[in-house]
Amino acid sequence: MAAAVQTSSQHWRQQGNSLYTSVKEGLAPAVSKERFKQAIQCYQRAFDSGKTEDEQASAAKNLGMSCWRLVKLMGEGEISYLDTYMVLYHCKEAFKFFSFAYIHGKAVKPEAWTTGVLSSTRACWEDVSSNILEDLEFDARCQALYDIAQAIEVDIVKAQSYLKLAECHFHRGILALQKCDYKKCLSAMRECYMPLNEAPRLTSEDHMLTEIRVLESDVLMHQCMAESIQARAIGDSLFDKVLLEEESLNIDMVWEVIDWYKQATLRTREITEVELEAIAVSRTGRVYDKVLKLKYKAKEYYKLAIQLAHSMYPRTFAMEEWYKEAAQMVEKYQQDTVSAEEERKKLEKMEILKTLEKEIKQLKDKEGSDNEDFLKFVYKTFPPKKKTNKLKLPKIADQDFYSKMKKALQKAVVHYHPDSVDEEKHGKKWKVLCEEITKYFTQRYERMK
């Protein structure tokens, strides 16, 4: 039987195999790189001259393996800018040819062969993503991941590349947020959505779908955080302008400041970020206090900020400026409220005392009498409202008369003390009168000590 005629594709593939297998451990890196490059040229000719899917799939697999091996060699040690460009170029070439071999080999190759190509593709991805791309800066890594993802046509590996791309954008955004670059952070978080939408379309693996959902949640949380902080920063800037740069109060700008703080608050509520909400609420209180002079509204917002801070126990914010401001202002408002209430009561009492001039004059006229006469006068003229509060005076002949008189005065203080008066039942006038009577009893008791 005549020997089969060797095709041009088979010839070049054999030439490439000879070069590929000649790279042994211990061979100089420069020599190894050169032989892989020559092997790639041979396999490329085999691929270009292939007349059938079988020939092209075989050549494509070999191209993928050679590019991968070359990438691993080029990735060792320091890499220059030009070397980085070439490494990424061969990465894309490896995935492009692995993908071709896997897709076209399904129709013409045994299942074990395509399974092997898939395993090699996944292994190549793990190697490239873990060892080659990790050395790049975030921006360069994101671009490289995007370019590589476009070269991959194997769904499960493409899904992995999209997930990795989304993670890279996410970490780039986190870094920007730490530097207070909110625009860059938001841009990075938005870049996550395309790969996060594409990845679940390409895979059904549960663990990957779980990773995608977790990352989506993290992206949303940090995007809301960045939007909240940015809105607060805009509000702060406008607030400073209202206070320092405006000659007259621009009420429209004031409400714009409040709107920005409300935006900051609303964005945090979507993700339950309590600290940022507390800061934004405290800022709103500041506007009502310092600009609009609506103390009752300012107090509401400051109190809410403190309540939110306390809800995060055991975390404490005593050293945070926003918390100290809120706490100081709430304390000030409480003191103002107490002072105002005391002043109101004082004025009210003065009005009542005017109506009690006759009763107070009677008490004053009796001021020079002895304790026994004074007690009898008070209990007879202004009897206690409780029928059980009876006057019990000691007899003069008692040996302990002095101490018993002191106790009688003590009892009298209890009977007439304003704190024991039912104001709703007996009125404010009676309470004020009891307060005056108590003063006289107390003075007499003090003199007996």
Q: Which residues contact 262 (CB under 8 A, 6 or more apart)?
A: 280, 284
* φ, ψ for residue 339, nearest 5 deg: -60, -40
3 state DSSP class of 201: helix
Cα separation of 448 and 414, whole Å? 17
The more confidently predicted of residues 117 and 80 is: 117
Q: What is the predicted pLDDT for the residue at 180?
A: 87
Q: Report how far Cα 173 is from the mean position of its chain's Cα atoms.
A: 14
Q: Which residues contact 334 (CB under 8 A, 6 or more apart)?
A: none
pLDDT in tens, 122-155: 999 999 998 888 888 888 999 999 999 999 999 9
Q: Are 337 and 325 in contact (CB under 8 A)?
A: no
pLDDT of 3 over the 70 cut: no
The confidence band for 434, taking pLDDT boundaries of 50, 70 and 90, is: very high
Q: What is the predicted pLDDT for the residue at 2?
A: 40
pTM of the predicted model, to two decimals? 0.72
If you average pLDDT over residues 280-297, what whole number do you get?
94
End-to-end CA distance of the chain: 139
Q: Are 288 and 238 in contact (CB under 8 A)?
A: no
pLDDT of 383 over the 90 cut: yes
pLDDT of 179 over the 50 cut: yes
Cα separation of 122 and 164, whole Å? 13
The 8-class DSSP code of residue 129 comes to I
Q: What is the mean pLDDT of the chain?
A: 92
Neighbouring C-beta atoms of residue 57, cutoff 10 Å: 26
CA-CA-CA-CA torsion sign (342, 347, 348, 349): positive
pLDDT in tens, 394-426: 887 777 888 888 899 999 999 999 999 999 999
The confidence band for 248, taking pLDDT boundaries of 50, 70 and 90, is: confident
Q: At what angle do helices 357-365 and 423-448 cross, to 10 degrees?
A: 20
Residue the block writes with tokens 């841009």: 187
Cα separation of 91 and 116, whole Å? 19
The 8-class DSSP code of residue 7 comes to P
- Name the amino acid, one letter, at 257: V
